[in-house]
Every structure is written in structure tokens, then in C-alpha cells.
Amino acid sequence: FFRDPVSLVSLLFPEASFIRKKCFPEAFMEIYHSWEELPKTKKFVLAMGFFDGCHRGHEEVLRLTRELAAKVDAIPGVLTFWPHPMAVLAPKVQVPLLQSREEKAESMAKAGMAFTLFLRPDKKFLQEGPEEFLEKLESLPGLSGLAAGENFTFGRQAKGNSRLLKEWFLFKKIPVSVAGLTEEEGKTVSSTAIRQLIQQGQMKEAACLLGRNYTLQGDVVHGFHRGHDILGFPTANLSFAEDRVLPKDGVYATFAQIDGRRYPSITNIGKNPTFEGKQRTIETFIFHFDSNIYGKSFTLEWVERIRGEIRFPSPEALAAQIQKDIQRAEKILERR
């Protein structure tokens, strides 16, 4: 019970809900799924976009949203979409995502948003012109401001953009803030650029654009037991959604986040060519950890790629290399 800080504060200060909300805002963010659910008696400012990854560029949009909300005495919120519009327009063209819907909601809560509206972009919605979308926004009783990125698009064939957004609301007394493109070390920050870096195994470069290490949440599932039974390294096998961005096959220095604690670890992603594997798996050996975590959800934090996946002549040769990988991972993670 006392592991839950929100419950503890509730016990100590049952009448002071404002304290709980200030200390733990992520526990109180509202989730909406339709226009009709948006507040009608409260003023709000909307940040708009798909926000995949909630990277440094998105953080700027959310910062402008909070600033504008404070200026007009309103609450900050987010209008986003789920699933990705391409999943509706071209189901066979899969866009690998940096976050699940739950992870995106967590990021919005941590950014201080009071609510997040997840609109489902069906074909009818995606075929509407940009003016129809703007008219819907304009009709919202509590709308008191908008924020978006410079490259935000909306409406049929993405014909609507941030310039049209500002022009539409210019004489309607609804302020619009537009965040310019963010750059880090000479690179424009975008979800597409981050996906490419991760798929190339460039985790440090991806972290620079994200503003944090890339993480992957999932459940620990039973694998082939090779780690424990053959190699002597018990591993946690992570399940993952098909639509997630995955790092390039190889061995990585990682952190495993379990029950609020962060453990150094080493992770192999690939098909285990030494054992003639056919299925892509993610197997993590957690240092100094021997608890049973099967069936538990945990988060894997990717730090740095150590080497590519290699076919070894024997399990013994692989085990010897794993020892070297662990030593290198420990040195990398000591600095993080």
C-alpha cells in the first residue's frame, strides 16, 4: 500500500486534493475519446499533433501550451489521434511507432497536461477538408487557445497546416502559438528521424533527439530457456507489439525498470543465429537480480549498441562473448 505515493498522500491529507494533484499530476490527467467529452464549463488550450515519442520538438509545443493556458487562465490539454492515420488509410503500410497509446498518455501527464483527447481517425474523418476540422474546433465552448508545431498538418490530403490554423483564428479572439522546428546538434528533431536512428542501432543519437533514452514497455514471457539452461545467464524475454520501432539486431547496454527500480542489464535483439533461431526475440540479462518477474510488465531502456548479432561456433563460445559483453555494458552504464 505505502509503495503508492498517491495513496499515502490521500491517507495523510484526505481533504487536500490540490496537494495530491500538484505532487502527482500524472495520476489525475483525464483521458477523453470524443469531442463531446471535452470540458464545457472550463476554459482550455489545446496542443495538437500526433506526438509520437513526445520528443524535444513536441516538448516545445507542450511548453507553449502551458504558457498560453496560464496567460488566458485556462487548463492545458492535448488533442491527438490513435491509431496512426496511415493505419486507416493504408493498413498494409505499417508505421513503426515510438510509443504505445498508454506511454503517450504518460508523457502528456508528466508534461503537465490536464487531459488528453485521443480521437479515432476513421475514413470519414480523414476525408473531411481542413475547414471542417477548423469549424469543429471553433465550435468547442471552452476553447481558449491552440498550439501546434510548424509542420502540423490536418484535413484531407494534409492540406491544412499551421499557417491556415493561425489565419483561421486570427479574428476570432482565439490565440494560436506555433513552435518552430527544433534542432539538436545540427539535426532537425522529428519522429521520422528518431525512428531511423533507432532502426540503425544509433541509440545515443536517438536519445539526443528524444531528450531521453528510448524505452520499450512489455510483458515478460516464457522463451526458449537457452539463456538459463544452456548459457548460464537467465534472461527475461520481452513481448512487444508489432507496430513498435525496434533497434537494429545486436547486443545493447540497457536498463530494466521493474517495480519503480532501475537495474543495469544487457539485451540481445535478433534471431539467435547460433541456435538457428527463426523468430525475432528480445532477451535481457539483468545484473544482480534474481526475482521472478514472469507475467509482470516492465520497461526496457536502450542505452548503447555494443555489437551486432553473431553466429558463434558453439554455445560455449557465445557464453564467453557474453561475459565480455557484460563487462563492457557495466562500464557504459556506470556513466549513465
Kindly report, residue by residue over 160-205, the tens digit of the pLDDT: 999 999 999 998 989 999 999 999 988 999 999 999 999 999 999 9
Q: Which residues of 214-244 are buried (b: 16+ CB within 10 A; e: fewer)?
A: bbbbbebeebbebbeeebebebbbbebeeeb
pLDDT recorded at residue 9: 41
* Residue pointed to by grid coordinates 547486443: 251
- 13 has a pLDDT exceeding 80: no
- 304 has a pLDDT exceeding 90: yes
Do 88 and 123 meet the contact criterion of CB atoms below 8 Å apart?
A: yes
Q: Which residues of 163-196 are buried (b: 16+ CB within 10 A; e: fewer)?
A: ebbeebbeeeebbbbbbeebebeeeebbbebbbe
Average pLDDT of every residue of the chain: 88
Over pLDDT 90: what percentage of the chain? 71
Q: Residue 130: CB partners within 8 Å, gap ≥ 6?
A: 154, 155, 156, 159, 160, 164
Grid coordinates given for 71? 496567460
User: If you write DSSP's letter for every residue of 29-65 in order, what string do you get?
Assistant: -EEE-SGGGS-SSS-EEEEES--TT--HHHHHHHHHH
Do 194 and 209 meet the contact criterion of CB atoms below 8 Å apart?
A: yes
- 11 has a pLDDT exceeding 80: no
Residues forming a β-bridge with 270: 281
pTM over 0.75: yes
Q: What is the dihedral of CA 166, 168, 169, 170, to 10 degrees?
A: 70
Kindly report, residue by residue over 246-302, the tens digit of the pLDDT: 999 999 999 999 888 899 999 999 998 777 777 899 999 999 888 888 777 789 999
- The alpha carbon dihedral of 221, 223, 229, 234 has a sign of negative
- Name the residue with higher pLDDT: 191 or 226: 191
For the ranges 11-20, 80-89, 257-266, the lowest mean pLDDT is seen at: 11-20
Q: Which residues of 281-310 are buried (b: 16+ CB within 10 A; e: fewer)?
A: bbbbbbeebeeeeeeeebebbbbbbbeebe
